[in-house]
Amino acid sequence: MRDYPKNLEEFESRFSSDEACRDYLARIRWPEGFSCPRCTSRKAYPIGAVLYQCSACRYQTSVIAGTIFQDTHKPLTMWFRAFWWVAGQKNGASALGLKRILGLGSYRTAWSWLHKMRRAMVRPGRDRLRGLVEADESYIGGEKPGQRGRGAAGKALVMVAVEDKGDQGIGRIRMGVVPDASGQSLLNFVRESIEEDSEVRTDGWSGYRGLSAAGYRHTVERQDSSLGEKPLKLVHLAVSLLKRWLLGTHQGAVSHEHLPYYLDEFVFRFNRRTSTHRGLLFLRLMQNAVVDAPMPYKEIVKNVRGPKPGEHNM
């Protein structure tokens, strides 16, 4: 499905009512028509403006049940405006900006909406990286340089994987916070992010020893002291872009607790950096937003607390 608004004018005329927004969500969520979330029956009849009742098991549902829009007290038109705005923020979205653009009374509301929308930046069951992939860890935040394998005070350890597309440069990337640089932590990230049989290039850190046994072709690139060049150029480029983005968009005011969400946003935007259509990004976010969550949405947000003092630049 490639049905999305091409510009602001189209967006505004198309999504001017909640009914129009619900119709659009239904087309995205059930592209082949209704499917009962309980019994997968394809037949349902509408009850009122919002509910559907399954003809087979009589289960009642709505197009927003189980999505990030569930239980919202705000009109869908407002949510759509928020998604449209976020899709257009190339350098990252801030809660303050969202509050202003939607005319929301509360910063907290804007902040929690932004976190819900970040969930839509990670496609459930998304494809893993493949081919030739560079992998390395990097410390983010804090003042002092990190000491490998032992953690560093005030810093978070972030794993980075980058597809090496040769002459075409960097392909897709993945980033994630890992608890430590142990073999198990690094392997967990690699398994989640990279397809088996791919060639994984690292700097030979002992934590990567298990890669071959796990089904990857492991190659090592060590520092060439005669050239003074650091190995794993692509990973270092991605990390420096991430750091610049965190500083520029969020003034570096990102707590460890929320770093995973910012990584998701950075990866989402980076992997779609050549996509010039705001409408297409909007569609992708909407598609991810209505996918049946692997766990109830309430469970996901339960673990997300509000902003902390000094964290107002998000």
Site for Zn ion, rule CB under 5 A: 36, 38-39, 41, 54, 56-57, 59
Cα 79 to Cα 21: distance, rounded to the nearest angstrom: 9
What is the nearest approach in angstroms of Zn ion to the Cβ of residue 72? 24
What residue type is 189 in one-letter code?
Answer: F
What is the nearest approach in angstroms of Zn ion to the Cβ of residue 134? 47
What is the nearest approach in angstroms of Zn ion to the Cβ of residue 59? 5
What is the nearest approach in angstroms of Zn ion to the Cβ of residue 42? 9
CB closer to Zn ion out of 39 and 220: 39
What is the nearest approach in angstroms of Zn ion to the Cβ of residue 58? 7
CB closer to Zn ion out of 41 and 271: 41
What is the nearest approach in angstroms of Zn ion to the Cβ of residue 128? 33
What is the nearest approach in angstroms of Zn ion to the Cβ of residue 37? 8
Residue/partner pairs of 253-260 with CB below 8 Å, 24 or more apart: 253/310, 253/311, 253/312, 253/313, 253/314, 254/141, 254/311, 254/314, 255/308, 255/311, 256/141, 256/156, 256/177, 257/305, 258/304, 258/311, 258/314, 259/140, 259/141, 259/156, 259/158, 259/177, 260/176, 260/177
CB closer to Zn ion out of 58 and 74: 58
Pairing of strands 199-202, 217-220: parallel
Nearby residues of 140 by Cβ (< 8 Å), 6 or more positions away: 155, 156, 157, 158, 242, 243, 246, 259
CB closer to Zn ion out of 38 and 126: 38
Helix axes 76-88, 278-290, angle to 10 degrees: 130
CB closer to Zn ion out of 40 and 91: 40
Cα 174 to Cα 268: distance, rounded to the nearest angstrom: 9
Whether 254 contacts 262, CB under 8 Å: yes
Helices (H), the chain: 8-14, 18-29, 76-88, 95-102, 107-119, 183-193, 233-250, 259-271, 278-290, 297-302
CB closer to Zn ion out of 45 and 230: 45
CB closer to Zn ion out of 30 and 245: 30
Cα torsion 30, 34, 36, 37 to 10°: value is: 10
What is the nearest approach in angstroms of Zn ion to the Cβ of residue 44? 8
CB closer to Zn ion out of 57 and 220: 57
